[in-house]
Amino acid sequence: MDLHTQDTTARSWHWTGPATLEAVREASIGTRRFLSESSLPEEEVSAWELVVAEAGNNCALHHDHASTNYTLDLLVTIIPTKVILRLCDSTPGFDWPESTALPPDDSENGRGLYLIDCLTERRTYARSRQRNILELERSLPAGQAMMEDTEATLHAMTEELSSCYESLASIFHFISEARNTATLGEFATSVLEHLIQSTSSHIGILRVMQDGKLLTLALHGCEDCEVIELERQALGDCLDRWVHGHLEGFSQENQFVGLVHPFSHEKESIGTLLLLRTQGEPPFNAGEENMIRTFSEFFTQHILSRRHEEAAIRSSVARREFELAAAIQSSLLPPPLAPVCDVCVTGHCESALSIGGDFYDLIPIENHGFFFVIADVMGKGVGASMMAAVTRSVIRSLSAYYLQPATLLEMVSKQMHEDLDRLEIFVTVAVGVIDVPAGEIRIANAGHCPVVLTNGEHTLEIGPENPPVGIEAAPTYPQFVMPISPNTKILAYTDGLVDPRNARPSFDQEDDVAAWFATAAPKSSTVTELKTALLDRLEYHKDAAFLADDQTFLMLSCNNLPSPPSWQNS
């Protein structure tokens, strides 16, 4: 967090955060912004930005990384004559040396303290068990030329930062190249080859985490080998591992110097970078180490960017798939149909996820009546809707068997078993026909909810006798035959009507559906009225509450077809 305060003589900026390199970068950028907004000269702004970075990095790097509770508290204050910085941290701290000097080029330690010493005029460091306090001061120039020691310090800064210029230029190049690189492997190869060249390394391996394992993306100067122990250790604590001598996975004759650098993001391990020189070559100097870390961070950001892009594409594609699947599913439902031989029909289908595995079909049979289908594919979403469309297509291809529902159901099972078995899903289906000239209703049921028939006096439930389609390779299904009785009405439905997870009212069990239908059917003169009554019972409307499962049903009515035979005991 950051906070600005101001009075007539002083202006302050306060920031707190974790003791991590990422947080320190945020603090240094915030310091630059605060000082720039306060109209300080650019050389002052740059000097304090570097001081904050070096002081914060000391805290972030020199502590026990197994603990994640260390924090930083930064206060930057501008008064008319100088800038005062106060940095408090909860890390174990260290002993501030009595004097500092610019370390050798191949040493990383001590460089930050030297720069802080050169860039500030007063330094106070208090170390305790629970809290360390560093106070730094630097006078503001009053328009005069920079002091000689400041010029020397800036020269040292230039020397220190010049090693980064090549990295920055290369990164700008790679940013452009990344847009035109087809695969992550190709881009990883480009990055590794650049590092091999820039650090004069002989061997390089770049790996990334995938499904909990390290996957090799790029190689140079060697064949792929198993993940070495140093890589596992580096990933375990997110710290570099140095190589001196023989390395497992390589010939005993080869001796190396180099390092294994892990890269991560918010405690998530992203991958490892291994760079080696043959024995006798000097180890990596500070500038080369900085380049390796910079490019590793850049590669990490590239991976995260790709993830975000892929997630956005998947989201867009999924949304389009849902819209397309919903449109296809809606188009497959039968339109309002005129009566055939005085048989009237209607239906309703509502998916829990806009699309689903439920569907119904009503197919007119000229001079006979109607063939009807209701089905429920295991699962929800695009996959279930696709299989529902396939099932509907297979059934419609067997129109020659509409008058024999059991035979049709057996043929559907044989045709679809192999695909359904491979996908490990099944489909419950109930099919039937109202054959007016024959005076019969024929129904077959493959693992589906009972089909309910009522004539106002008697009610029957035709339940499943054999398993759903997709369970057995060549099942047989019994065919239930009932004579058409006066005022016969038929209800076929899916199990969404009895799903207790629905946020709106549903039936407790299948017998309750039959009981409701037996009562409501005689009170409705048309199937349209009966459909409205059932939707009201289910509290269906445009702002209806959440559905946990698809709700689908169809209704058929034979009101004007008197037939003497009774099916009370059929």
* Residue 556 Cα distances to 373, 441, 448, 455, angstroms: 12, 11, 18, 12
**CATH code of the domain covering residue 88:** 3.30.565.10
Pair 405, 438 in one domain: yes
* Confidence at residue 84, expressed as pLDDT on a 0 to 100 scale: 94
| Residue 570 placed within a domain | no
Q: Going residue by residue through the chain, which has 570 residues, state the pLDDT in tens, using 9 for 90 and above.
A: 555 555 446 788 999 888 888 889 999 999 999 998 888 988 899 999 999 998 988 888 776 655 667 889 999 999 888 999 999 998 888 888 877 777 776 666 667 888 888 889 999 988 887 888 999 999 987 643 334 445 545 554 554 555 555 555 555 556 555 555 568 888 888 888 888 888 889 999 999 988 888 899 999 988 888 888 888 888 888 888 888 888 877 777 778 888 999 988 888 888 999 999 887 788 888 778 878 888 888 888 888 888 887 777 777 776 776 677 677 777 788 999 999 999 999 999 887 666 778 899 999 999 999 999 999 998 777 778 888 889 999 999 999 999 999 999 999 999 999 999 998 899 999 999 999 999 999 999 999 999 999 988 899 999 997 899 999 999 999 999 999 987 899 999 998 888 877 667 788 899 999 999 999 999 988 999 999 999 988 888 756 556 667 789 999 998 766 554 555 443
**CATH code of the domain covering residue 552:** 3.60.40.10
Pair 87, 183 in one domain: no
Pair 89, 59 in one domain: yes
Pair 251, 179 in one domain: yes
Exposed e or buried b for every residue in 232-266, given b needs 16+ CB within 10 A?
eebbeeeeebebeeebebbeeeebbbbbbbbbbee
Pair 469, 388 in one domain: yes
Angle 307-312-316 from CA coordinates, rounded to 5°: 150
Q: Which helix (H) or strand (E) holds 258?
A: strand 256-265
Pair 475, 361 in one domain: yes
| pTM score of the predicted model | 0.48
Pair 362, 494 in one domain: yes
In sequence order, the 6+-apart residues with CB closer than 8 A to the CB of 425 are: 377, 378, 379, 387, 470
Pair 211, 134 in one domain: no
Pair 414, 510 in one domain: yes
How far apart are alpha carbons 407 and 393 in whole angstroms?
Answer: 17
**CATH code of the domain covering residue 244:** 3.30.450.40
* Confidence at residue 88, expressed as pLDDT on a 0 to 100 scale: 92
| Residue 264 placed within a domain | yes
The candidate with the shortest Cα–Cα distance to 563, out of 455, 453, 485, is 485
* φ, ψ at 352 (rounded to 5°): -70, -30
Q: Which helix (H) or strand (E) holds 88?
A: strand 82-89
3-class SS string, 362-420: EEEECCCEEEEEEEEEEEEHHHHHHHHHHHHHHHHCCHHHCCCHHHHHHHHHHHHHHHH
Segments forming the whole domain that contains residue 246: 166-309
How far apart are alpha carbons 403 and 411 in whole angstroms?
Answer: 14
How far apart are alpha carbons 86 and 77 in whole angstroms?
Answer: 8
How far apart are alpha carbons 557 and 520 in whole angstroms?
Answer: 13
How far apart are alpha carbons 42 and 32 in whole angstroms?
Answer: 9
